[in-house]
Structure 1
Amino acid sequence: MVFGVTVDHWKPGEPVLVDERAFGYPVRSLRDVPASDASRPRPAGALPPGEYMVQAVLNRYETFHRADGTTVKLHMDQGEGQHWNISPGNLYSKPQRITLNELAGLRKPFSLTLDQQIPPIPEPKDTKYIRHIKIQSALLTKFWGRPMYLSAIVLVPWGFDEHPDAHFPLIIFHDHFVDGFDNFRTEPPDPNLKPDYSDRFHIAGYNRIQQEEAYKFYQQWISPKFPRVLIVKIQHANPYYDDSYAVNSANVGPYGDAIETELIPAIEKQFRGLGAGWSRFVYGGSTGGWESLAVQVFYPDHYNGAFAACPDPIDFHAYTNIDLYHDKNAFYLYGANKTVEQPAMRDYLGHTTITTKQVNEYELALGDHGRSGEQFDIWQAIYGPVGKDGYPQPIFNKETGEIDHQTAEYWRQHYDLEHILETNWSTLGPKLQGKIHIYVGSDDTYFLNDAVYRMEDFLKSTSNPPYDGEVTYGPRAEHCWNGDPTQPNYLSRLHYNTMYLPKILDRIEKTAPAGADLTSWRY
Structure 2
Amino acid sequence: MNRFQSMQVVRRFLVVLAFLSSSAGFAQTKLKFELSYPAAISSTPLTGRMFLIISRKDSTEPRLQVGRYGTQFWGADFEKLAAGKAVTIDGTTLGYPINALKDVPKGEYFVQAVLNKYTEFKRSDGHTVWMHMDQWEGQQWTRSPGNVYSAVQKITIDPAKSETIKLEVTKVIPPISVPADTKWVKHIKIQSKKLTKFWGHPIFIGATILLPKGYDEEPGRLYPTVYQQGHFSTAPPFRFSENPNNEFYKDWTADNGPRFIAITLQHPSPYFDDSYAVNSANNGPFGDAIHEELIPEIETKFRCIREGYARLLTGGSTGGWESFALQVWYPEFYGGTWSFAPDPLDFWNVEGIDIYKDKNAFYKEYEWYKVPTTNTRIPATGEPRLTSEQRNMMELVNGTKGRSGGQLDIWSSVFGPVGADGYFKPLFDKKTGVIDPTVAAYWKEHYDLRQYLEKNWATVGPKLVGKLNIIVGRMDDFFLNFGVYKVDEFLSKTTNPAYGGSITYGDRGGHSWRPYSNGELLRMMDAHIKKMAPAKSATKAN
In the superposition, the TM-score normalised over structure 2's length comes to 0.84
> Is 1:186 aligned to 2:221, yes or no?
no
Name the CA shift for 1:121/1:408 in 2 (closer, same or farther; >3 Å): same
The amino acid that maps onto 1:327 is D
The correspondence of residues 131-210 of structure 1 with structure 2, limited to 5 A, is 131-181=186-236, 183-187=239-243
Q: Percent identity?
A: 47
What is the rounded CA distance, in whole Å, between the counterparts of 2:217 and 2:256 in structure 1? Answer: 17
The amino acid that maps onto 1:415 is Y
Name the CA shift for 1:100/1:141 in 2 (closer, same or farther; >3 Å): closer
Deviation at 1:105, TM superposition (A): 4.2
Deviation at 1:106, TM superposition (A): 5.7
Name the CA shift for 1:479/1:100 in 2 (closer, same or farther; >3 Å): closer
What is the rounded CA distance, in whole Å, between the counterparts of 1:217 and 1:394 in structure 2? Answer: 42
> Does the residue aligned with 2:218 lie in a helix, a strand or coil?
coil
Deviation at 1:71, TM superposition (A): 0.3
Mark the structure with the bigger radius of gyration. Answer: 2
What is the rounded CA distance, in whole Å, between the counterparts of 2:527 and 2:251 in structure 1? Answer: 19
Runs of 5+ consecutive residues of structure 2 not aligned to the other structure: 1-71
Q: Are 1:320 and 1:451, in contact at CA under 8 Å, matched by a contact in 2?
A: no
> Does the residue aligned with 1:7 lie in a helix, a strand or coil?
strand
Q: Are 1:63 and 1:73, in contact at CA under 8 Å, matched by a contact in 2?
A: yes
Give the structure 2 partner of residue 506 of structure 1: 527
The amino acid that maps onto 2:204 is Y
> Does the residue aligned with 2:117 lie in a helix, a strand or coil?
coil
What is the rounded CA distance, in whole Å, between the counterparts of 1:100 and 1:78 in structure 2? Answer: 34
The correspondence of residues 229-268 of structure 1 with structure 2, limited to 5 A, is 229-268=260-299
> Is 1:286 aligned to 2:343, yes or no?
no
> Does the residue aligned with 1:294 lie in a helix, a strand or coil?
helix
What is the rounded CA distance, in whole Å, between the counterparts of 1:273 and 1:518 in structure 2? Answer: 9
Q: Are 2:116 and 2:132, in contact at CA under 8 Å, matched by a contact in 1?
A: yes
What is the rounded CA distance, in whole Å, between the counterparts of 2:257 and 2:520 in structure 1? Answer: 13
The correspondence of residues 93-492 of structure 1 with structure 2, limited to 5 A, is 93-100=150-157, 105=160, 107-181=162-236, 183-187=239-243, 215-348=246-379, 349-482=381-514, 484=515, 492=516
The amino acid that maps onto 1:158 is K
Alignment: residue pair count: 469
> Does the residue aligned with 1:407 lie in a helix, a strand or coil?
helix
Deviations 1:38-73 (A, max 9, x none): xxxxxxxxxxx4323211111110000000000000
The correspondence of residues 22-37 of structure 1 with structure 2, limited to 5 A, is 22-33=93-104, 35=105
The correspondence of residues 25-64 of structure 1 with structure 2, limited to 5 A, is 25-33=96-104, 35=105, 49-64=106-121
Deviations 1:295-330 (A, max 9, x none): 011111110101111000000112222211111111
> Is 1:67 aligned to 2:124, yes or no?
yes
What is the rounded CA distance, in whole Å, between the counterparts of 1:219 and 1:510 in structure 2? Answer: 25
What is the rounded CA distance, in whole Å, between the counterparts of 1:391 and 1:63 in structure 2? Answer: 13
Deviation at 1:443, TM superposition (A): 0.5
Name the CA shift for 1:151/1:100 in 2 (closer, same or farther; >3 Å): closer
Deviation at 1:100, TM superposition (A): 4.5
What is the rounded CA distance, in whole Å, between the counterparts of 1:407 and 1:13 in structure 2? Answer: 42
Runs of 5+ consecutive residues of structure 1 not aligned to the other structure: 36-48, 190-214, 485-491
The amino acid that maps onto 1:399 is K
Deviations 1:62-100 (A, max 9, x none): 000000000000001111111110100001111112225
Deviation at 1:499, TM superposition (A): 3.3
Deviation at 1:518, TM superposition (A): 4.5
The amino acid that maps onto 2:519 is T
Deviation at 1:479, TM superposition (A): 0.2
> Does the residue aligned with 1:267 lie in a helix, a strand or coil?
helix
Deviation at 1:500, TM superposition (A): 2.5
The amino acid that maps onto 1:451 is G
Q: Pairwise CA RMSD of aligned residues?
A: 1.6
What is the rounded CA distance, in whole Å, between the counterparts of 2:482 and 2:315 in structure 1? Answer: 19
Deviation at 1:273, TM superposition (A): 0.6
Name the CA shift for 1:100/1:237 in 2 (closer, same or farther; >3 Å): closer
Q: Are 2:315 and 2:323, in contact at CA under 8 Å, matched by a contact in 1?
A: yes
Q: Are 1:135 and 1:150, in contact at CA under 8 Å, matched by a contact in 2?
A: yes
